[in-house]
Amino acid sequence: MTESVYINLWKKLYEQAQTAPTDANGNPQPSFVKYLELTYTPEEAEILQHMDRPGRFVATRNLASLADKPVEEVEVLLSLVHKRNGLLGMPGFYSLPPVPILFNRNMFYPEVKDGDLEAAELYQDYYIKDKFYRYYEGSMKGTPVFRTIPIERSIAPQQKVLPAEEAHDFILNHAPEELALVPCPCRTRTEKMGVRECRDKFPVGFCIMMGLPALHFEKLELGKRVTRQEAVEYFDKMQEKGLVGQTDNTITDNSIICLCCGCCCSQLRGRTRWDNPDAILPANFIPVAGDDCIGCELCIERCMLEALTMDDETDRPVVDADKCIGCGVCTLTCPQETLALHRHERSTPFNTARELFKTIALENRE
């Protein structure tokens, strides 16, 4: 009886574009079902199994009627689940969280709470060992969920830059006005597990949430509201440190800007550690070194994608365009200021989130 409510819940999650973790036969992945059991009590799952798929809000009174419970009782239960980041919504209307918020749920809180380490262990199993990352990072046909977004300063003058293609224009002119800095769950997870490899290089830091997710995390007191200018300044500071800028693979409706490392990030590791060369749409740029290059190799050390090597004949760095995602991180500390991004057409982001996730849903179910 208890198991079936969690399986019903898994089925609702599976209906979203990025699906939910499965085993090799397409059945609910056991560690993920255990994670659901860790996240929701049987009493909560009993009600939540009647929700629609993530992102579709359901009125409390409709849920109460489906679960055959008093509305007041159901509202109290849902508001408590919402407060601990297990649901999106507001009094009277709630939605299941999308899988990215759900499996990171505990990892937005810096302190280690009960169940966090067990949750992190289960993630190792369903996300890494059973390769759920292939669905999280993009469709099975290779459409990425995220795209790389460099900053203007890393792009050579006179290069064509399209609207929303670099971070400053994107944040100042295209992103939603509601912006919040929210603790990075990927580095929080490795930090809590005591295995964060980038500990001496980068802070745990924040993702920049946008629009409705920003308001959600602000309501939970997990997000700090920032202006567009403050978001730009934070982005620049983190790129300077060497983190890679990414956002949703769209030009509008974006929900997040991430500043990622190659050792903890659930997106970037597809390229740096796992077997997913389609993780992250590259920006339409690659770095080129000019005549002033002194061959110091600082840029090679900065690249987490191992896309730069030294050319023995010219004694200058050369780029492997298949590995390079056009993030611009390598250019920012060049002592000669001679390394800069040049146009290299290879990718087109989607216009809207609807187009992106419709494509991913179709490709995952073909």
As a whole number of angstroms, the distance between CA 109 and CA 126 comes to 21
Which of 96, 171, 226, 330 touches ligand SF4 (CB under 6 A)? 330
**Residue 339 in the binding site for ligand SF4 (CB under 6 A):** yes
Which of 31, 255, 266, 364 touches ligand SF4 (CB under 6 A)? 266
Contacts with ligand SF4 in 200-239 (CB under 6 A)? 207
Which of 99, 232, 327, 353 touches ligand SF4 (CB under 6 A)? 327
Which of 3, 275, 297, 322 touches ligand SF4 (CB under 6 A)? 297
**Residue 264 in the binding site for ligand SF4 (CB under 6 A):** yes
To the nearest whole angstrom, how small is the minimum distance from the Cβ of residue 333 to ligand SF4? Answer: 7
**Residue 156 in the binding site for ligand SF4 (CB under 6 A):** no
Q: Which is nearer to ligand SF4, 74 or 171 (CB)?
A: 171
Hunting for tokens 């298949």 — which residue is that?
322
**Residue 260 in the binding site for ligand SF4 (CB under 6 A):** yes
Amino acid code (one letter) for 344: H
Q: Which stretch binds ligand SF4 (CB under 6 A): 16-24, 133-141, 173-181, 327-335?
A: 327-335
**Residue 263 in the binding site for ligand SF4 (CB under 6 A):** no
As a whole number of angstroms, the distance between CA 133 and CA 303 comes to 22
- Residues interacting with ligand SF4, by CB under 6 A? 184-187, 207, 258-260, 264-267, 287, 289, 293-299, 302-303, 305, 307-308, 317, 319, 324-330, 334-336, 338-339
